[in-house]
Structure 1
Amino acid sequence: MRILSAILFAFLLCFADNNISAVTENDAISDDSGVIQSVEVNQNIASIKSQLDGINSTLRTNVWMTRYANYSTYQKIQNELEISENLLKRASKDNKKNSELVKKIQNLKGQLELLKGYENAPFSDMLAAPDVDMSPRITNPIALISGFSYMRKIRNEKDEYARQISELDSVIASLREKEILLVSLVENSTLTENLQSQIDETRVQISEFEGTKQIADTTFDVYEKRADEAIVATKNEIKLQVFNTINIAVFLVIIIAISFFFKFIAKKTISDNERFYTVNKFINFINFILIIITLLFAYIDNVTYIVTVLGFASAGIAIAMKDMFMSMLGWVVIIFGGSMRVGDRVRVSHNGVTYVGDIIDISVLRMTIFEDVTMATYYENRRAGRIVFIPNNYIFTELMSNYSHHGMKTVWDGIDVVLSFDSNHKKAVYIAKTITGKYARGYTDIAKRQMTRLRSEYSIKNPNVEPRVFTFFEPHGVCISIWFMSSSHATLTLRSTISAEIVEAFNKEDDISIAYPTQTLYYGKKQSPKPHSELEQDI
């Protein structure tokens, strides 16, 4: 019996040892798993902290956490400053300790000065919505650029504000995740006091950021409505301006098309190039005026205001710009009166200087003349080929001659030849008239046709255009004046030809001598003058 009891006791002792070792092994495994879990949680917390601090792959600093950290730092420094100041008040007269406290207080005040912007409401600047400027007035096509720029600016500001709120959501989500990890870490750690302080700090941050989030959402809703209204208003302005621009463009195209139509008709009906040029210029001027008036009424808000201002300023403008207005009036007279046209050969005299040339352009303010080689350049100027600008108001104040008015292409030109008194004058007149008739016959026929057309417009007493020869008694001989029709644009050519032919023909005749200044000397015995009495007796 005793033996059986001893065996049973030994068996129970062995079983108890096995159970104790098993329990110890399980406890060790449990402790190891808890350590591994704590390491993973700490790694997750460190990763969240890096994200909140902005130390991640995007290298983008988290503005919300930065401002909150500065705010927290300011509060901590403020508390430390209050403690140091209280210690300084209660400190003994130990100069060394007092100097250290004074330096510390000065250092803390300097830090507070740097962080002064974070004293209160660290997110006030970030929560403030951007100002929505008044949408620009789009009154012309160029203002469309400002309209599109305004919309792009509003959209960018709204997107930036929405991005900041999105970052705030990410911060809150990260803080909540951090809170959960810290709570789980408390369950597996003995350092509950330190972890609990971190949890409390995280919960304070969550509360602060959630309150900020509510304000941000409300502010963004109000701002978004204002921004959308501004964008819609600008879009409507742009659409209206585009529609108006299209209408104006269509109207201008119609005006230009009508001007081309009139030019086409003028080209088909007007054979004279000079007259077509004048009509073309007039059509261009009317076209330009219509375009300007259209643009003024389309893009100037208050046209009556401009008319009123011009009405008050018209007197001063009329005095200050008298010559210009006179030139414009002269242009109207020239265009509608038909006294001058492009291509006409004209002669202008001003201040004793004479210019002869062809009109190459007539603008609103002046005529442009190309100076040709003529008798005026031969006898007076000795210059030609110049471009002369004649103000249109000269038709009222200066003498202007038109050599080719109303389609006339010929003018009278004359050559004077002085013969000696003993020359055969009748023979010379016959020769001169024959040569002149021969070379001027073509221009004479042209002049006859033009004269017939000109007499329908004007009262011309002597329409005869045949060459004329006149004989005049001069102190040094008999002057034969030969007159003939010549081209109004090339008088010197025919004059030179006829002069050379007449000189050559006269030189062939023995009884015709061209006179020139001469002196006669008499040689003989000098006779004494008779007394006055003898002269009376002779009488």
Structure 2
Amino acid sequence: MILIKIVVFNLFLSLSIFASSLENNSSLENNSSITKNESKPTQTTKKFVKERGDIKVLNKKLETIENYLNKDILYAKYNNHQTYISVQRELNEVKAKLKRANQFHKIEDIAKLQIKEKSLENQLELLNDFKNPPFITLTKPNELKKQPEISSPFHLFKAFTYLKQLKSAKEEYANELKKLNELMKNLQEKENIIKYFQSIYGKKYKEEQLQEIKKELKEIRSAYDIASSTNKVYNKRVDDAIRNVTTSIKAQIKKLINIALTILLIFVFSFIFKYFAKKTITDNQRYYMAHKVINFTNLFLIIMVLLFYFLENATYLVTVLGFASAGIAIAMKDLFMSMLGWFVIVFGGSFHVGDRIKVYKGGKSYVGDIVDISFLRMTILEDVTLTSYLENRRSGRVVFIPNNYVFTELLANYTHGKIKTVWDGIDIPITFDSNHKKASHIAREIVRKYAKGYTDISRKQLNLLRNQYSLKNINVDPRIYTFIEKNGIMISCWYMTNSYAALTLRSNISALIIDEFNKEDDIKIAYDTHIVNYKKDEVLKPKKEDGEEESIS
């Protein structure tokens, strides 16, 4: 909208200049005709003839200046401001005349003055954007924005943005001052050209235009002098702000470099510790746990470094955490319990990666090998075990166990410490009329033969645990028990087996015992049987129970 207004008033200004130039040309023609009629040429005429070449150059220069002024936005704003003042003055005069006309009841004058007043008010409304002088932004520049607080590397982006804004404001102000100086130079050049023409054509040549230029130059030169002084103060303030921000940026960059070097040093020491752990620790489980501890220590140290570098007042953080600890402990109880459970697991030595464990939760059991112990949970991979056979009927799942289960749930470790074997048992029922002594002897021989290797291993392992635990009974020989059950005699065989492959040995021993029992005539394996007695001529009908038919075969 402002540009449109500027174009409109520039058009009016150009028309007025064109009209004045026509008038001046006509005056020049009159002057030339006068000189022709004179019998003797005047000194001015001689000078005109002598400097005709210079006049052509000056006319071209004057045309260039006029084009520059017509295109200069700052000068257009100045002219529009002057037009606004002129229209405002004229409107005040019209209002004064209208007031006098109303006093004397001059109806015709009142109507004309009202129309003129309305027209001037419309012009003022269009020129309202040029109410203030165009040089006020140069004499009174905008206040600098408040310098941002740069207390941590997170504020660097904000600092660079503020620095860019300062430099942009400084350059913009300098450019505006440069444009004003250029405008002043062109007006001064125009004034000098018109004075030169006056020395040739007389003092009346473009006298009104010259006076107008002098008035404009006086106002613009005054604004330029004030703006130049203001620019020195403004540049000093901007430079001080840039210097302060630059100093803060350098300090934060230095802090970032220190943080990077500290973290790099932590990683170097971590690499060294891992290298020595790999060279000195031969046990895979111990190396895995050492690797985990080193990684956790790295993470903890890095977090502490970042906290102490980025927080201005560590005491304030401790105070806040002290007041918030109760609420945090309640809201994140399970999380903190899992973290504490991690310390118990790692430093207590109850569980290690590779151990086979059994977890009881919600009436269900999960058996698998620990494949990872993280800060919040253990991860186990299910294997095909007796639990899978009897309860779950599926396996191979990855089960995540929160570390806080070590405090709240029952976790059984099949391979704790140096023990890699467990007791396993097979129950084989025989009939009451079977030779149970022979059956027990056969079962004992089979179990003793096939479990002998695991029995010897278990004995050695338990002897090694005597230094750590108070072990009273370390008898690991196979055991055969005979029990009376309601459906027969139960031969219960117990033996040591591999914790990771219990089903294999169980299957082999079961098959061998069955084969040997079947070879004996006086040993019969018991199972649920039904004896039905009925008469030859009696027709049996199916007995219905709960809406179902019972079939008899």
TM-score calculated relative to the size of structure 2: 0.82
Structure 1 residue 276: Cα displacement = 2.1
Structure 1 residue 339: Cα displacement = 1.0
8 Å contact 1:357–1:372 — kept in the other structure? Answer: yes
Say yes or no: does 1:417 pair with 2:428: yes
**Residue by residue, what CA displacement relative to the aligned partner does 1:257-307 show, whole Å, maximum 9, x if unpaired?**
222222222222322222322222222112211111111111101111111
Farther-moved stretch of structure 1 (502-511 vs 82-91): 82-91
Farther-moved stretch of structure 1 (145-154 vs 358-367): 358-367
Change (3 A) 1:115 1:523: closer
Matching residue within 119, 141, 155 for 1:129: 141
What is the rounded CA distance, in whole Å, between the counterparts of 2:449 and 2:232 in structure 1? Answer: 103
Letter in 2 for 1:49: E
What is the rounded CA distance, in whole Å, between the counterparts of 1:185 and 1:236 in structure 2? Answer: 58
- Structure 2 unmatched runs, 5+: 1-36, 536-553
Structure 1 residue 322: Cα displacement = 3.1
8 Å contact 2:153–2:255 — kept in the other structure? Answer: no
Structure 1 residue 500: Cα displacement = 2.1
Change (3 A) 1:480 1:113: same
Letter in 2 for 1:44: K
| Superposition map of 1:235-274 within 5 A | 235-274=246-285
8 Å contact 1:431–1:505 — kept in the other structure? Answer: yes
Residue matched to 2:516: 505
Matching residue within 518, 521, 524 for 2:529: 518
SS across alignment from 2:206: helix
SS across alignment from 1:407: coil
Letter in 1 for 2:68: Q
Identity of aligned residues (%): 47
Residue matched to 2:5: none
| Superposition map of 1:441-520 within 5 A | 441-520=452-531
Residue matched to 1:281: 292
SS across alignment from 1:193: coil
| Superposition map of 1:20-169 within 5 A | 38-54=55-71, 62-89=72-99, 95=107, 98-169=110-181
Say yes or no: does 1:319 pair with 2:330: yes
Letter in 1 for 2:155: A
Farther-moved stretch of structure 1 (398-407 vs 369-378): 369-378
8 Å contact 1:67–1:123 — kept in the other structure? Answer: no
| Superposition map of 1:374-393 within 5 A | 374-393=385-404
**Residue by residue, what CA displacement relative to the aligned partner does 1:362-388 show, whole Å, maximum 9, x if unpaired?**
233332232332222222222323333
SS across alignment from 1:359: strand
State how many pairs are aligned: 497
SS across alignment from 1:405: coil
**Residue by residue, what CA displacement relative to the aligned partner does 1:27-59 show, whole Å, maximum 9, x if unpaired?**
9997666776555433322210211222xxxxx
What is the rounded CA distance, in whole Å, between the counterparts of 2:507 and 2:294 in structure 1? Answer: 42
What is the rounded CA distance, in whole Å, between the counterparts of 1:301 and 1:347 in structure 2? Answer: 49
What is the rounded CA distance, in whole Å, between the counterparts of 2:92 and 2:531 in structure 1? Answer: 138
What is the rounded CA distance, in whole Å, between the counterparts of 2:117 and 2:210 in structure 1? Answer: 31
Structure 1 residue 21: Cα displacement = 13
- Structure 1 unmatched runs, 5+: 1-19, 55-61, 525-539
Structure 1 residue 94: Cα displacement = 6.6
Structure 1 residue 468: Cα displacement = 2.8
Structure 1 residue 67: Cα displacement = 2.0
Change (3 A) 1:395 1:34: closer
What is the rounded CA distance, in whole Å, between the counterparts of 2:464 and 2:161 in structure 1? Answer: 67
Matching residue within 370, 373, 382 for 1:362: 373
8 Å contact 1:440–1:486 — kept in the other structure? Answer: yes
8 Å contact 1:34–1:188 — kept in the other structure? Answer: no
8 Å contact 2:354–2:370 — kept in the other structure? Answer: yes
What is the rounded CA distance, in whole Å, between the counterparts of 1:348 and 1:27 in structure 2? Answer: 120
Matching residue within 215, 221, 230 for 1:219: 230
Structure 1 residue 465: Cα displacement = 2.8
Larger Rg: 1
8 Å contact 1:420–1:478 — kept in the other structure? Answer: yes
SS across alignment from 1:188: helix
Residue matched to 2:199: 187
Change (3 A) 1:141 1:288: same
TM-score calculated relative to the size of structure 1: 0.84
Residue matched to 1:293: 304
Structure 1 residue 80: Cα displacement = 2.6
